[in-house]
Structure 1
């Protein structure tokens, strides 16, 4: 495990998937990250690359050829290398292309996750370097799960919490099939002013997926106390919000990319939200978790 720390936060990251396993609020004594109960949902904060969401038949289509690709890509189970320039408040994990990645994703890349502590905020940066002799195509995203309630000792219930959007919104979620593919239908999600109240049935139909948000920040709040946690995603056009029904967490997921639709597989170059990176170029996108 790798630990970065300052006066506000202590953050722990594992090499598998370069995944956050703890965001500890030192002043309040609060663990904000879901601790991965395997009987409910065994992850903490997966990093998503080179796809976001599921693919028809778990296959990635590239130029008429299919490649096996699991939901959310191949980063989650993969060991990443901790770079030597890691410091007390900065950690860099890398995954370069290899024969094993080329067998399932026919592009040459260097994928990096960079964690930086900046005051009371953790910045998570995704960096992709094109190592190929052609343009490469990919999606990136985060999937952090935050404890709700914040603490088991505070005397609050899940339903005492809400998500507050940065600006006024008319929320329409893009509906998913039972297999996790977009149906082409949308459903209105009612708000209480800027607030989306958390309930045990909010995610009965899977994740809420928003593709046209004005807000670039969502904050977890409760009227029972003053502690808050905000996720700011200035570089991400899509946002997923999800929890296992009945579980004591909520995921706030900044995405650049989406699952396939029920209509069938789509070539990677035409996938919703896909990123194109020209030869010799570098891509970066960051989101922030602040307390």
Structure 2
């Protein structure tokens, strides 16, 4: 089942499966911004990542001397959420633990994903994680929205660029296979817009460390006729990704509160690099917004 939000400018569709954003269209022009989930390239639109971001070493981790198995990006994206609140411009989706989730994630939790049209062209997205357990829980959470590139006919992938503000030198993390290698950390100068070139994604995503600092990420065509601006409030990382070797007509901008395992991870969940720890009855909130032009 899908849920529709709209205002005078844009129409938004969200699936209850994964609380996944599947469509954002300009109501006047009919322009679709979101990736169409063509399985020949990547069969998702904008999955929500929980309770891990990226891949665990060997797809496994340990908690209290027991080993659990979990695939890349966790299980939330493949589970039905409950729609618990809804207006014409607001929807709140909820996922809670079950016996099935306990077999791979032995914690009691509540994950809310909130969508809100905040003005004529902006969609806010908020993650609220609540610890409903009697002890600490450990988790990561993040977004993975994909946007069509190019957005219109007679344009090319390489006509587009990514610009990150504020302009400064960011720390860039690098992957070896699916895992982070902190010994390969380098820098990224955002004062130079990142022109889209497929070879830049040969080693997977471009990952920048934000350390909770707010940034704006613009994906647009040269000449700035149309595009998307992602405003990230407090994330630890942002990833920029398109699948290498497929000529895929989309790019993902990914705000993350967490990251993949490191190459030397010991597999113990509370030792995991970038993991969040939440005390009983406490909540964690992370948010970003998307402005469409």
Q: TM-score range by the shorter chain?
A: over 0.9
Aligned equivalents of 1:234, 1:225: Cα separation in 2: 23
Aligned equivalents of 2:187, 2:195: Cα separation in 1: 11
Residues 135-170 of structure 1: per-residue CA shift (max 9 Å, x gap):
21111000000111112x2x2211111111111232
Aligned equivalents of 1:63, 1:11: Cα separation in 2: 42
Change (3 A) 1:116 1:215: closer
Q: 1:71 matched to which residue of 2? A: 72
Change (3 A) 1:176 1:116: same
Q: 1:11 matched to which residue of 2? A: 12
Aligned equivalents of 1:192, 1:124: Cα separation in 2: 24
Q: 1:135 matched to which residue of 2? A: 136
Aligned equivalents of 2:283, 2:241: Cα separation in 1: 30
- How far apart are residue 172 of structure 1 and its match? 4.5
Q: 1:206 matched to which residue of 2? A: 204
Secondary structure at the aligned position of 2:86 is classed as coil
Q: CA RMSD in A?
A: 1.8
Q: 2:122 matched to which residue of 1? A: 121
Q: Which moved more, 1:223-232 or 1:94-103?
A: 223-232
Structure 2 counterparts to residues 28-107 of structure 1, below 5 A: 28-83=29-84, 85-107=85-107
Using the size of structure 2 for normalisation, the TM-score is 0.92
8 Å CA contact 1:172–1:186 kept in 2: the answer is no
- How far apart are residue 102 of structure 1 and its match? 1.3
Structure 2 counterparts to residues 147-162 of structure 1, below 5 A: 147-151=148-152, 153=153, 155-162=154-161
Using the size of structure 1 for normalisation, the TM-score is 0.93
Q: 2:194 matched to which residue of 1? A: 196
Secondary structure at the aligned position of 1:193 is classed as coil
Secondary structure at the aligned position of 2:76 is classed as coil
8 Å CA contact 1:165–1:215 kept in 2: the answer is no
Residues 92-140 of structure 1: per-residue CA shift (max 9 Å, x gap):
1111111111111111111111111111111111111111111211110
Residues 180-225 of structure 1: per-residue CA shift (max 9 Å, x gap):
0112343656657341111121211111111147661101122245
Secondary structure at the aligned position of 2:261 is classed as coil
- How far apart are residue 236 of structure 1 and its match? 0.5
Runs of 4+ in 1 over 4 A off after TM superposition: 187-192, 212-215
Gap runs ≥5 in structure 1: none
